[in-house]
Amino acid sequence: MPEQSHEPEGAIAGTGMGGGMDLATSEAATLEKTPGGPQGTGPAAKPRSLWSDAWRELRRNPVFVVSALVILFLLVISVRPSLITSGNPLQCELARSQEGARAGHPFGFDGQGCDVYTRTVYGARASVTVGVCATLGVALLGSVLGGLAGFFGGAWDAILSRTTDVFFAIPVVLGGLVLLSVVTSNTVWPVVGFMVLLGWPQISRIARGSVITVKQNDYVQAARALGASNSRILLRHIAPNAVAPVIVVATIALGTYIALEATLSYLGVGLKPPSVSWGIDISAASPYIRNAPHALLWPSGALAVTVLAFIMLGDAVRDALDPKLR
């Protein structure tokens, strides 16, 4: 019988194939030294989360970049409008009523002789303040109520579902006309409170569905089996993984709230003069659309650009946070 060799199989492969084993070993060592290996999955690779992947996608998305720059500009002029204008939005001269553009007044004057450029710049403050505050209030209230209902279920879930059905049956504009018509305060807070009151059910349903989906995952069941409390499971394991849909919907809704504030101010139940708002200026310029169309064009254009920027931002965030859309 032929004599059998007792050499290790690895040694035969290493010598019989021209040092292939040495080459494989050197390649493995090289991959270990390279951060993340060839595909970012090596031993030295840092695990990538949903948020890091989303930020990576957002930076490459031109829609996100453009909308973020527009929103950043709006935030800056909302805080410091004096950076781009030195005029007073409440200083008006009837002698300049409906005049066109001139040096120092690029947008012309409205029916009261007010500088349209100055009022357009200062009008961003009210609109952005209402939109941001309403979105934060809606997201916070809706997320808490919807998250608790989805996590505990039972009677809490049934009560929340029926309550949201009632609020969904209320027309937003009609509700604003009824509720805000009795308010005497001429600040943004009654408008913000109204939007939070009627806006939380949408976020609540999104948060409820997201929590119900996440709490079925294995890591939540493992945490429960290890004896973690409900508060720890909800705050440490469920909330970070269920908040993405809420952020997407809230970002898109922010532009809607800005448009709603302008609509209510246009109808005379939102902000009222002497407050400066795009909705107030659009309402005041409507009777002069034939003689002074510029007084209507600029505030309505600023409103349209602002709403479009927030909607584009929400779309970009949605695409980045949803792996199925990539």
pLDDT at residue number 46: 60
Domains of the chain, with CATH numbers? 1-47 (no CATH), 50-325 (1.10.3720.10)
Q: What's the rounded Cα separation, in Å, for the pair 265 and 281? A: 9
Centre a 10 Å sphere on the Cβ of residue 230 and count the other Cβ atoms it contains: 11
The C-alpha R_g of the chain, in whole angstroms, comes to: 29
Tokens of 168: 């969904």
Q: How far apart are CA 311 and CA 257, in angstroms?
A: 11
pTM of the model: 0.79
**Predicted pLDDT at 325:** 54
**Residue 323 confidence (pLDDT):** 59
pLDDT value at residue 40:
47
pLDDT at 117: 95
**Which has the closest alpha carbon to 303: 73, 173, 133, 120?**
120
pLDDT number for residue 45: 53
User: What was the pLDDT predicted at 50?
Assistant: 66
Do 97 and 288 meet the contact criterion of CB atoms below 8 Å apart? Answer: no
Q: Which residues of the chain have pLDDT under 50?
A: 1-43
Give me the pLDDT at residue 134, please. Answer: 95
